[in-house]
């Protein structure tokens, strides 16, 4: 072959490179064609048959290689019906002219034509399977045609409603400082059903009468009595006008109640007084010359003899005789009998010291008797009267006070009877008794002794023992065997017998350095009867005894109270509260009330316990939700023991006049538009009102706005009550007038009525555990799902492709409809498909039959697949092909030159 073989090989090379150049040209030309698959060129060497050592390179043949399985880039598109395949496979199409036949393409620039078919840029119609209500109904692929007619309205039949209710709803009426203010209060509404009631009771009345009593110092009963009183301190206790003066004995040494203030000595009637003057005989002459004064009169002796001196003094009108003793130097003067005082005990005036006072006989002249003054406190007259042991004098003269009245007049009469002839006087203001004795027949001794026992309280131990002794002695004195003296919650208390109407009063006389009223007893609560008996004056001890108890159980909370009258109550059980019952009934009840309000829970926050009207009254005001149980010995005595039910009433509808109140006591549950059979929109507004906040067993009411028209009677209607336990919905109780339920998952409104129009039944589907009640700081309901299945009529707007390969029609009412499922085809050998115009392919025997997929897998809406041609790569191949073609032309030229040389050789 030689040169001719070389020429043939070069020609085959030119032909093969021309084929490659044609493919490169087509690829570059279609680099912007949607879904285009480039064609690569492959070369095949052609070797003529020859012995091995004679074989030559041979010629070449070119053939096309498809790249149908190589995906181009996916690009976003604004047209909603454009689509691309992200992966292998082809759209199944047919010619747009209706000529029939099945083709396959990767070109996804489909759009609606005038007949509603989805046609791509090459004119092929997209095929798929028909759908109805989201379900594939077709079994044979048909060209997809979009119906652009109106979408008919659909009545709402179901609402999917799920939310979390707050544990504490912060309604407009909620106040953080007012427990229970977050609850709906049906009893305040005009449409409430039933008989709303809060627990209350009217119990025992106050005593018909209360005795007088006094409350004194706050003390420790085991302290020493001497820390409170001093020896001989006196407390005057007046009962019903009679005063009992009692004194306190701290040193165990008794002090009589009658004492001598003063007493002088009496003298006989006929004893004359004498006075002795000192006149030394040596002074007589000088004294006669000077003179002197005696008894208020000037004395001038006539001479210096003793006789002169005696005569001068005897001349005094009051002097009976004067005798001078020259040896002793004394002048004894004897007075005339008569009522006059003894001579002065001072020196005789005058005489320039020549005469001095010697002695004067004490006593009085005739007619002057002795006088005794006694101290007798007017406050102790009653005690002295009862003791009746007064005596005066030595030897003692008994005074029979007990035979007379127990007053100042009786005391005077008793002393007058014991001392006849004496002048007796008693000054009640100063407490002094004066006995002026008559002129005695002989010298009498002064009254140096007296007796008269008062009542002494032993105060040398503790305060408790002192008060016990005081109680017994006051009982003995007054005859009131039920009089009490003791401690009431640490305060000294004195009370007359329970049925006593006597008055009580106190006054004090301190004997030492302590000041203030003895035992702190300076004010008294007077006895009262009838309407004057009030809780503010009635002693609590008249209604309860030490240790009595009363328990209140409300809303799962129990509070127990023990009455402590004396302040010494012990043995308290855990959780019990000690109540001071040592004061008045009002104080006792107020203490119980205060603790219940503070610690009895929200339902007890407004309770009252008092006896303001003369009867024990218990009222759990505002508590229409929690029952109350009252037990205990004190409850029995108050006559309020028992069970008391709370009844809030039922609120199934809310009057328009109460609408604002309802809104302020509820929280929004959201709203949703539902549709009637004709597509009329209905605004369904819902609100939640908490009905009970009993821990772990809360309940709520679901209401909807049933009529918002002007002049409407009913504004809101309740659908159902929802009970929660531990935050989880435990039960639904529908309002039988409008609803029914299926467990806790579904509530059915039997015939929804809004603004007077009936819209048929609607199911409210809560799902599994879709309704909860957990704490939320916002205090508002948190809606997690709220959607419905109805819609109004809608106008066709557009069509789009979902990523699942479904053709979706959109309507003006916001609804969408899946009208067809796009199918795809895949092949065992997709590169063996036969290429046609417009990026369409047909199956061949080499490609195998199409494998149809209905899942829409890999379909991407609003996208197109770009050509898989790479321009840079194609240019590279172009250069290589051009060089190869040029090289083949050189071979032809060289072979031609070689032939010419051969021919020239012959020539």
Buried-state track 578-593, b at ≥16 Cβ within 10 A, e below 16: ebbbbbbbbbbbbbbb
The pLDDT of residue 851: 93
The pLDDT of residue 764: 94
Q: 774 and 810 share a domain?
A: no
Q: Which residues contact 869 (CB under 8 A, 6 or more apart)?
A: 27, 28, 30, 31, 36, 38
Nearest to 607 by CA among 592, 597, 617: 597
> How far is Cα 334 from Cα 327, in angstroms, rounded to an integer?
19
Q: 19 and 32 share a domain?
A: yes
The pLDDT of residue 638: 96
Count of the separate structural domains present in the chain? 7
Least-confidence region, from 162-176, 367-381, 455-469, 589-603: 367-381
Contact status, residue 723 vs residue 697, Cβ threshold 8 Å? yes
Where does a domain end: 624, 644, 664? 644
pLDDT band, residue 364 (cuts 50/70/90): very low
Which carries the bigger pLDDT value, residue 36 or residue 331?
Answer: 36
Which tokens go with 56? 């030559």
> How far is Cα 193 from Cα 891, in angstroms, rounded to an integer?
113
The pLDDT of residue 761: 92
Q: 545 and 673 share a domain?
A: no
Q: 653 and 779 share a domain?
A: yes
| Partners of 552 in beta bridges | 559, 630
The pLDDT of residue 309: 84
Which tokens go with 694? 């009993």
- The pairing of beta strand 771-774 with beta strand 158-166: parallel
The pLDDT of residue 772: 94
Mean pLDDT, rounded, for 769-785: 92
Which tokens go with 649? 């009433």
Least-confidence region, from 261-275, 611-625, 873-887: 261-275
The pLDDT of residue 48: 83
Q: Is residue 266 part of a domain?
A: no
pLDDT band, residue 165 (cuts 50/70/90): very high
Q: 521 and 639 share a domain?
A: no
Q: Is residue 361 part of a domain?
A: no
Residues 400-416 pLDDT 10s: 988 999 899 998 999 99
Alpha carbon distance, N-terminus to C-terminus of the chain: 22
Q: Is residue 327 part of a domain?
A: yes
The pLDDT of residue 692: 85
Residues 295-344 pLDDT 10s: 778 888 888 888 888 898 888 887 888 898 888 888 888 877 655 555 44
Q: 683 and 809 share a domain?
A: no
> How far is Cα 630 from Cα 636, in angstroms, rounded to an integer?
9
Q: Is residue 286 part of a domain?
A: yes
pLDDT band, residue 367 (cuts 50/70/90): low
Q: Is residue 20 part of a domain?
A: yes
Q: 130 and 168 share a domain?
A: no
Which tokens go with 804? 């699942």
> How far is Cα 38 from Cα 70, in angstroms, rounded to an integer?
9
Q: 383 and 426 share a domain?
A: yes
Residue with tokens 């509260």: 577
The pLDDT of residue 720: 94
Average pLDDT, the chain: 89
Mean pLDDT, rounded, for 284-297: 78
> DSSP letter string over 438-496?
PPPSS-------EE---EEEE-SSBHHHHHHHHHHHHHHHH--TT-EEEEETTEEEEE-
The pLDDT of residue 363: 39
Q: Is residue 783 part of a domain?
A: yes
Q: 655 and 757 share a domain?
A: yes
Least-confidence region, from 578-582, 601-605, 703-707: 601-605
The pLDDT of residue 347: 40
The pLDDT of residue 368: 65
> How far is Cα 674 from Cα 760, in angstroms, rounded to an integer?
11
What is the rounded (10 degree) CA torsion for 541, 544, 549, 554?
-100
Which tokens go with 305? 């003899």
Q: Counting beta carbons within 10 angstroms of the beta carbon of residue 827, is it exposed (0 to 12), middle (13 to 18) or buried (19 or more)?
A: buried
- The pairing of beta strand 83-85 with beta strand 608-610: unpaired
The pLDDT of residue 369: 75
Three-state SS string across 695-714, please?
CCCCEEEEEEECCCCCCCCE
How many CB atoms within 10 Å of residue 202?
Answer: 13
pLDDT at 89 over 50: yes
Which carries the bigger pLDDT value, residue 618 or residue 441?
Answer: 618
pLDDT at 290 over 90: no
Backbone angles phi, psi at 663, to 5 degrees: -60, -35
- How would you classify residue 350: left for phi > 0, otherwise alpha for psi between -120 and 50, otherwise beta? left
The pLDDT of residue 478: 92
Percent of the chain with pLDDT over 90: 62
Give the range of the structural domain holding residue 124, as residue numbers without chain letter. Answer: 76-149+803-866
pLDDT at 578 over 90: yes
Which tokens go with 714? 């009913």
Mean pLDDT, rounded, for 623-635: 93
pLDDT band, residue 134 (cuts 50/70/90): confident
Q: 450 and 491 share a domain?
A: yes
pLDDT at 559 over 60: yes
CA dihedral sign of residues 8, 10, 13, 14: negative
- How would you classify residue 738: left for phi > 0, otherwise alpha for psi between -120 and 50, otherwise beta? alpha
pLDDT at 441 over 80: no
> How far is Cα 635 from Cα 332, in angstroms, rounded to an integer?
97
257 three-class SS: coil
Which tokens go with 607? 């309770």
Q: Which residues contact 685 (CB under 8 A, 6 or more apart)?
A: 671, 704, 705
Q: Is residue 362 part of a domain?
A: no
Q: 487 and 406 share a domain?
A: no
The pLDDT of residue 349: 46
Percent of the chain with pLDDT over 70: 95
């Amino acid at each position: 072959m030689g040169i001719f073989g070389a020429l043939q090989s070069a020609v085959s090379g030119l032909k093969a490179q021309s084929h490659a150049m044609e493919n490169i040209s087509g690829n570059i030309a279609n680099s912007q064609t949607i879904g285009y698959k480039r064609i690569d060129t492959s070369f095949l060497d052609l070797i003529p048959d020859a012995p091995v050592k004679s074989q030559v390179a041979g010629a070449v043949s070119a053939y096309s290689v498809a790249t149908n399985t190589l995906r181009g880039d996916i690009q976003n598109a604004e047209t909603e019906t454009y689509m691309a395949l992200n992966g292998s496979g082809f759209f199944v199409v047919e010619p747009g002219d209706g000529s029939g036949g099945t083709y396959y393409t990767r070109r996804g620039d489909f759009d609606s034509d005038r007949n509603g078919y989805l046609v791509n840029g090459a004119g092929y119609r997209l095929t798929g399977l028909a759908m109805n209500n989201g379900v594939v109904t077709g079994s044979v692929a048909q060209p997809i045609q979009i119906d652009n007619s109106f979408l008919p309205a659909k009545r709402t039949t179901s609402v999917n409603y799920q939310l979390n209710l707050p544990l504490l709803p912060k309604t407009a009426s909620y106040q953080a400082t007012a427990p229970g203010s977050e609850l709906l209060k049906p009893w305040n509404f005009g449409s409430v059903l039933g008989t709303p009631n809060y627990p209350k009771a009217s119990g025992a009345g106050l005593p018909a009468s209360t005795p007088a009593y006094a409350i004194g110092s706050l003390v420790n009963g085991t302290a020493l009595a001497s820390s409170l009183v001093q020896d001989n301190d006196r407390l005057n206790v007046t009962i019903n006008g009679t005063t009992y003066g009692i004194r306190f004995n701290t040193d165990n040494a008794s002090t009589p109640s009658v004492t001598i203030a003063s007493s002088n000595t009496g003298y006989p009637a006929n004893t004359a007084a004498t006075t002795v003057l000192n006149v030394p005989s040596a002074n007589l002459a000088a004294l006669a010359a000077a003179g002197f004064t005696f008894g208020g009169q000037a004395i001038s002796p006539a001479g210096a003899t003793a006789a002169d001196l005696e005569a001068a003094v005897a001349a005094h009108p009051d002097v009976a005789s004067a005798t001078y003793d020259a040896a002793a130097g004394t002048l004894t003067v004897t007075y005339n009998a008569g009522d006059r005082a003894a001579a002065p005990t001072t020196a005789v005036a005058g005489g320039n010291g020549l005469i001095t006072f010697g002695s004067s006989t004490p006593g009085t002249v005739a007619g002057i008797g002795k006088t005794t003054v006694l101290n007798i406190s007017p406050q102790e007259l009653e005690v002295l009267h009862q003791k009746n042991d007064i005596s005066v004098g030595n030897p003692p003269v008994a005074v029979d006070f007990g035979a007379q009245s127990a007053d100042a007049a009786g005391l005077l009469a008793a002393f007058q009877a014991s001392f006849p002839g004496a002048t007796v006087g008693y000054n009640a203001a100063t407490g002094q008794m004066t006995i002026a004795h008559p002129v005695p027949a002989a010298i009498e001794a002064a009254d140096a002794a007296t007796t008269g026992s008062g009542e002494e309280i032993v105060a040398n131990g503790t305060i408790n023992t002192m008060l016990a002794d005081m109680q017994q002695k006051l009982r003995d004195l007054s005859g009131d065997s039920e009089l009490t003296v003791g401690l009431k919650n640490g305060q000294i208390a004195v009370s007359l017998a329970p049925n006593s109407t006597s008055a009580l009063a106190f006054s004090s006389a301190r004997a030492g350095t302590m000041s203030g009223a003895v035992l702190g007893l300076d004010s008294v609560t007077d006895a009262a009867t009838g309407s004057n008996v009030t809780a503010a004056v009635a002693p609590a001890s008249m209604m309860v005894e030490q240790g009595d108890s009363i328990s209140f159980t409300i809303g799962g909370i129990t509070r127990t109270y023990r009455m402590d009258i004396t302040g010494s109550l012990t043995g308290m059980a855990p959780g019990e509260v000690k109540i001071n019952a040592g004061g008045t009934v009002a104080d006792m009840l107020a203490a119980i009330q205060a603790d219940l309000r503070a610690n009895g829970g929200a339902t007890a926050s407004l309770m009252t316990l008092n006896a303001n009207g003369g009867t024990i009254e218990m009222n759990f005001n505002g508590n229409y939700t929690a029952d109350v149980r009252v037990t205990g010995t004190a409850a029995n005595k108050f006559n309020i023991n028992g069970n008391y039910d709370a009844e809030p009433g039922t609120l199934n509808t809310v009057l328009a006049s109460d609408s604002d109140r309802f809104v302020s006591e509820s929280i929004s549950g959201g709203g949703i538009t539902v549709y009637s059979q004709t597509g009329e929109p209905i605004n369904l507004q819902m609100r939640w009102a908490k009905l009970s906040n009993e821990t772990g067993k809360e309940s709520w009411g679901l209401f909807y706005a049933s009529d918002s028209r002007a002049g409407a009677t009913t504004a809101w209607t309740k659908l159902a009550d929802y009970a929660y336990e531990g935050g989880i919905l435990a039960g639904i109780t529908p309002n039988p007038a409008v609803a029914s339920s299926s467990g806790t998952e579904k509530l059915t409104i039997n015939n929804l009525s809004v603004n007077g129009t009936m819209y048929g039944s609607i199911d409210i589907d809560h799902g599994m555990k879709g309704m909860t009640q957990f704490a939320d700081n916002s205090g508002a309901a948190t809606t997690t799902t709220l959607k419905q299945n109805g819609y109004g009529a809608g106008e066709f707007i557009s069509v789009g492709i979902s990523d699942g390969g479904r053709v979706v029609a959109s309507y003006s009412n916001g609804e969408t409809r899946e009208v067809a499922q796009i199918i795809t085809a895949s092949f065992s050998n997709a590169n063996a498909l036969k290429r046609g115009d417009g990026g369409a392919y047909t199956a061949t025997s080499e490609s195998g039959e199409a494998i149809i997929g209905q899942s829409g897998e890999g379909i991407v809406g609003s996208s197109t697949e770009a050509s898989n041609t790479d321009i840079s790569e194609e240019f590279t191949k172009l250069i290589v092909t051009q060089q190869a073609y040029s090289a083949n032309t050189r071979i032809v030229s060289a072979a031609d030159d070689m032939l010419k040389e051969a021919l020239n050789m012959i020539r």
